[in-house]
Amino acid sequence: MEATCHGGASHRIITSASLSEDLDDYISCSSEEVLLEKQPRSLNSVAHGLAFSNAASSSSLLKKFLHACPALNNQPNVHGDLPIHMAVASKSIASLAVILSSVTTSHSLIFARNLDGATPTHVLADTCEDNLQEQTAVLIMKMLAKCLLKQNHNSDVSDIARAKDSVGRTPMHVAAHAGKPLILQALLDTFQEDDVDAKINAICARCQRGRDVLAEAKRTKNNDACLSICLDVLSKKTTSADDDSILHTSTTNTNTTKTKKNKNKKKKPPKQKTKKNDKHQVKASAQRSSSSSEEEEEEEEEEISSPETIPHPPEPVHDKDDDDDDFHVVVSARRRRQQRAQSRIDNDNDNNHNLPSPSHDDDDDDDDDDDDDTKIPQSPSSSASSSTTTTSSSLAARPDVVSATTRRSAHLLDLEVTLSQILGLSSARSLSPAQADALRLYHQSALAELDEAQTETELANEAEWRAEQYM
């Protein structure tokens, strides 16, 4: 009786009365409020203490209290546990038998939940400390199933194994995570033997954390027995409606995030890696031939490799041979333009070398000074209409200006080729709405960059013209 004496006047009276064999008289003369009084320290009723105790006399005392006050069966403690939760936690078969036989609504007690949403079966699977207690838990589970069938022959005993707590875990999740193969097998035995689909669905059921029973078993070390039970059930039905292995499907479900990422990767169309690399190689070769500064080359390569400059549209669905023809046409046109630009630069350099050397005559210097004094700067518009040979020869005398101008010309040339490629693809292909939207955004981005590059070129030309006028 020490388990029932945890403080409180009524409990001390119960203890002394039981020792003097006057407990029946005390129960008969006590009111229901006295019997339902909770102990002040643990906030358990006397029924909780008797149900948790494994003493020989506890079950007989519990039977007398429940007969006098059946409401004790439904009185929760501070954690929401009923006396049936306490009985299965201590593996007290005698106390559990008394509780189940004391009321006619034992079905509600079997599926009663505490504050964590755990049923007695959840508590049973989570409180086994050794193999002996695990074997006792199997007997208790059979008692619960027998009680269900006794109350209603049409009851589905497997509901014990499918009950979920507040986070969606079934007793099978708890047993697999705790590494209790005997309890896990007993829970599977509550299903009909030939109902393989129901067993597979129970193993593949996921809690709110996204883990099924097999995943819970994998999280525990040295849990080969539970893993073997799950795999044995999953292997009984080898294929599904899609001719996929059920075992493969369950194993795949344990890696939900990776599977979703792989599916998303498959849905995305492949990028034009070869075309992008060829395009960058041609542009890089033109830059290296026209610029001698390593810093300028590094800046240009960063602009080329930056995905934020011009987003690449998804590859439209079309014939590969036609796409290769269009690409070679675009690359050939771009190469011809680059060759013409390079030839103009070479001609300017030749003209610069053929210029006569300046004279050191004093009279000529005076004439030059007079000319400088009388020279009137012209407007940029009139300068633009002047001869190309004069401008190119003056630029050739300044290698840094030639390098910057060449880089801007190559960049403009590349943008023009990109726009022509976009127009060619949009006119020659039937695109889906998503591809058309992506191509339209790509086109707008390219136009915006082309306008910006042209503006920078105009400003640079004006600055070069002014510098030339005042040299």
pLDDT at site 83: 92
pLDDT at site 394: 44
Instruction: Note the helical H segments in 354-398.
Output: 362-374, 380-384, 388-396
d(CA 314, CA 327): 16
pLDDT at site 350: 66
Give phi and psi for 245, each to the nearest 5: -70, 130
Mean pLDDT score across all residues of the chain: 68
pLDDT at 120 > cutoff 90? yes
Per the structure block, which two tokens stand in for 94? Answer: 């005698």
pLDDT at 78 > cutoff 70? yes
Query: Residue 37 in contact with residue 8, Cβ under 8 Å?
Result: yes
pTM: 0.49
DSSP code of residue 39: P
pLDDT at site 212: 92
Domains and CATH numbers, the chain: 2-259 (1.25.40.20), 273-348+399-469 (no CATH)
Give the total residue count for the chain: 471
Residue-wise pLDDT tens digits, 318-360 = 444 444 454 454 456 656 666 777 777 677 666 655 555 444 4
d(CA 92, CA 348): 104
d(CA 108, CA 137): 20
Q: Which of 66-70, 402-406, 417-421, 433-437 has the lowest mean pLDDT?
A: 402-406
- Mean pLDDT across the stretch 290-297? 52
pLDDT at 216 > cutoff 70? yes
pLDDT at 388 > cutoff 70? no
Paired strand residues for 45: 38
pLDDT at site 461: 78
DSSP code of residue 271: P
pLDDT at site 58: 86
pLDDT at site 262: 52
Q: Quick one: which of 273, 282, 231 has its CA closest to 254? A: 231
Residues in CB range of 423: below 8 A, 6 or more apart: none
Angle, vertex CA 76, rays to CA 71 and CA 80, nearest 5: 155
Q: Quick one: which of 75, 28, 30 has its CA closest to 50? A: 75
d(CA 95, CA 60): 8
DSSP code of residue 357: P
Residue-wise pLDDT tens digits, 146-169 = 888 887 777 788 999 999 999 999
Query: Residue 106 in contact with residue 73, Cβ under 8 Å?
Result: no
Which residue in this structure is represented by tokens 């007997």? 139
Residue-wise pLDDT tens digits, 408-435 = 566 666 666 666 666 665 555 566 676 6
Per the structure block, which two tokens stand in for 395? Answer: 């630029």
d(CA 118, CA 165): 5
Helix/strand/coil for 210: coil
Higher local confidence (pLDDT), 471 or 170: 170
pLDDT at site 236: 79
Higher local confidence (pLDDT), 273 or 136: 136
Instruction: Note the helical H segments in 158-272.
Output: 159-162, 171-178, 181-189, 196-204, 213-218, 224-234, 246-253, 256-267
Give phi and psi for 45, each to the nearest 5: -80, 175
Give phi and psi for 100, each to the nearest 5: -70, -30
